[in-house]
Amino acid sequence: MKIRLSFLFVLTLIVFILCVFFLSLFEEKSYVPEKTNNKIENFSIKDFYTDKSLNLKILFEDEKYIIINIWSSWCIPCRQEHKHISNLSSFNSSKIIGLNYKDKKNNAIKFLNELGNPYDTILSDKDGTKAIFLGAYGVPETFVIDSDLNIIKKYIGPINSEIVNEIRNLLNDY
């Protein structure tokens, strides 16, 4: 009997721990972006189609926020997130800017013809130097930036439908 009791005790303890582990798998664990230096510099960049030089501030026109999405035709996750970007652009009033990263123009145009163009403006970053101003790690990444050039939100990796909702709520709140 004594052995039975200790067995039950150990079993319940372990089952409890495993349950907690199980629940914790579904906790939100994405990294909170670093809070320091959220402000970015105003930089000039070329338009993807016209090669005209623009600067970041002009892109805002009268909008308070813009969304910048870094993408590339060779980037597989970008293909996956494309439908979410389209989704975002159809719901949102804010401008969505695509930053074409280290890409060949022909390939990029092919990509857009194939999947559609969700962007209001596309910027070209052929050598990957402009993405540095945003503090980007790679492709794809998505930034929400306000007109004072503060990064409000930063998503590393492909976005999904949850993030789309999050961005929509975020922009509605402001």
Partner 1 sequence: MINLIGNYSLIFALIISLGTMFFSFKNFKYNNILDFNLIVLVFLQFILIFCSFCTLLLAFINSDFSNLAVYNNSHTTKPLFYKISGSWGNHEGSLLLWLLVLSLFSLIFLIQSKKLSVSFRSLSIFFQQIIIVGFILFIFYTSNPFQLIIPTPNEGLGLNPILQDPALAIHPPILYLGYVGSSIIFSSSLAALVCKYTTNQWARDIKKWTLISWIFLTIGIMLGSIWAYYELGWGGFWFWDPVENVSLMPWFCLTALLHCSSVLEKRSSLQSWTIILALCTFMLSMSGTFLVRSGILNSIHTFANDPERGIFILIFLSCLILLSLIIYFKYNNFEKSNKSFFVSKETAIVINNWFMMYFLAVVLIGTIYPIFLEVITKEKISVGPPYFNQLIIPLLIPFLFIMSIGTKLDWIKNKEINVRYKKIVLLILSVLISYLIAKHLNTKILYSTVLISAALYLLFISILDLKNDKLKWSQKTSHLAFSILIISIILNSIFSEEQSVNLKAGEEKKLSKYTIRFEKISKSQIENYTSLKAEIWVSQNNNELIFYPELRLYKVPETITSEADIKTNLFNDNLVVVNYLKDTDYLNIRYQKKPFMLLIWISALMLAVGGILGLRKKY
Residues within the interface to partner 1 (CB under 8 A): 3, 6-7, 10-11, 14, 17-18, 20-27, 29-31, 36-37, 39, 41, 74, 76, 128, 131-132, 136-138
Q: Which is nearer to partner 1, 30 or 150 (CB)?
A: 30
3-state secondary structure at position 25: coil
CB 91 within 8 A of CB 168: yes
Measured CA to CA, the distance from residue 107 to residue 52 in angstroms comes to 20
CB-based contact 96:125 (threshold 8 Å): no
Q: How far is the CB of 20 from partner 1 (least distance, A)?
A: 5
Least CB distance to partner 1 at residue 110 (A):
12
Nearer to partner 1, 91 or 137 (CB): 137
- Taking the least distance from each CB to partner 1, the nearer of 85 and 136 is 136
* Strand boundaries in 56-149, DSSP class E: 65-71, 95-101, 121-125, 141-146
CB of 57 to partner 1, least distance (A): 17
Q: What is the nearest approach in angstroms of partner 1 to the Cβ of residue 92?
A: 26
Rounded to an integer, what distance in angstroms lies between the CA atom of residue 96 and that of residue 35? 23
Question: What's the token pair of residue 100?
Answer: 């074409």
Between 149 and 170, whose beta carbon lies closer to partner 1? 149
* Site of tokens 């089952």: 15
